């Protein structure tokens, strides 16, 4: 029986690349997205719906919708990949309470609740794999992205702590921390701003979503089972 993978944030650039790679690897897929239905339709067409068990829409920055999402998880889940998220670029003192709550719900509380729901089955079968796509800013922080850096740092800490707790139950927990990746999130930068960032990266280019997807596939390989509680940096040496 194939393994079932829940991909949170499947409609984003990195999420789509992960789904394409996992479909190619033969996994069965439960796909989550927020609002980009066109991207989901195109993704399903691209992979010819290979292995897709269900597709669920939900705004995970909203606690009510998160709870409704949890009620729709009817298939066994062996693996979760958390690839959703959004950055906010502004001065910290201009950050509203509402935005703080949304960012905490999306990046921290929703992943907590999803993980809590899927863990009992993983413990029972003595197998599971949980992967977070975090951010370089979760490691080193970024000005004008203080809240985003904070919640990504929380994800990194969650990974390290949970890995110690569930490792004896045969469950792997790790994160991938991308640097500057060619995604919609970074396409708002001007060409001059992009060139400035790339000039600071030793390999002298932006990363590709497919390279993050390759790392996910690597961590899911049974030969990688001794990797536990790690934050895998994929940033070109930045």
- Of 18-32, 87-101, 152-166, the one with minimum mean pLDDT is 87-101
Rg (CA), the chain: 17
Which of 143, 140, 154 is CA-nearest to residue 90? 143
What domains can you pick out in the chain, each with its CATH number?
Answer: 4-234 (3.40.50.720)
User: To the nearest 5 percent, what fractions of the chain are helix, strand and coil?
Assistant: 50, 15, 30
Catalytic residue positions? 148
Q: Largest alpha-carbon pair distance within the chain?
A: 53
Task: Read off φ and ψ for residue 99, nearest 5 degrees.
Answer: -65, -40
pLDDT digits (tens, 9 = 90+) for 111-147: 999 999 999 999 999 999 999 999 999 999 999 899 9
Which of 29, 72, 118 is CA-nearest to residue 18? 29
pTM score of the predicted model? 0.95
Give the pLDDT of residue 209.
97
Task: Read off φ and ψ for residue 70, nearest 5 degrees.
Answer: -60, -35
The CA distance from 7 to 84, in Å, is 9
Cα–Cα distance list, 233 to 42, 44, 180, 190 (Å): 29, 29, 11, 25
pLDDT at 193 over 90: no
């Amino acid at each position: 029986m194939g393994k079932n993978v829940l991909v949170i944030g499947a409609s984003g650039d990195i999420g789509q690349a992960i789904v394409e790679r996992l479909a190619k690897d033969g996994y069965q897929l439960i796909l989550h997205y927020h609002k980009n239905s066109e991207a989901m339709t195109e993704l399903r067409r691209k992979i010819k719906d290979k292995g897709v068990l269900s597709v669920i829409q939900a705004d995970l920055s909203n606690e009510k919708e998160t709870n409704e999402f949890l009620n729709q998880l009817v298939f066994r889940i062996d693996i979760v990949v958390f690839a959703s998220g959004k950055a906010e670029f502004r001065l910290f003192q201009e950050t509203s309470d509402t935005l703080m709550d949304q960012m905490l719900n999306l990046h921290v509380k929703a992943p907590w609740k999803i993980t809590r729901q899927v863990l009992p089955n993983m413990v029972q079968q003595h197998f599971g794999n949980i992967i977070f796509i975090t951010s370089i800013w979760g490691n080193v922080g970024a000005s004008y992205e203080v809240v985003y850096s904070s919640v990504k740092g929380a994800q990194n800490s969650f990974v390290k702590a949970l890995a110690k707790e569930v490792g004896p139950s045969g469950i792997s927990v790790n994160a991938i921390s991308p640097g500057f990746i060619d995604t919609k999130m970074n396409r708002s930068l001007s060409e001059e701003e992009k060139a400035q960032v790339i000039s600071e990266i030793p390999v002298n280019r932006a990363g590709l979503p497919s390279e993050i997807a390759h790392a996910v596939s690597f961590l899911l390989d049974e030969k990688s089972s001794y990797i536990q509680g790690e934050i895998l940096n994929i940033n070109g040496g930045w």
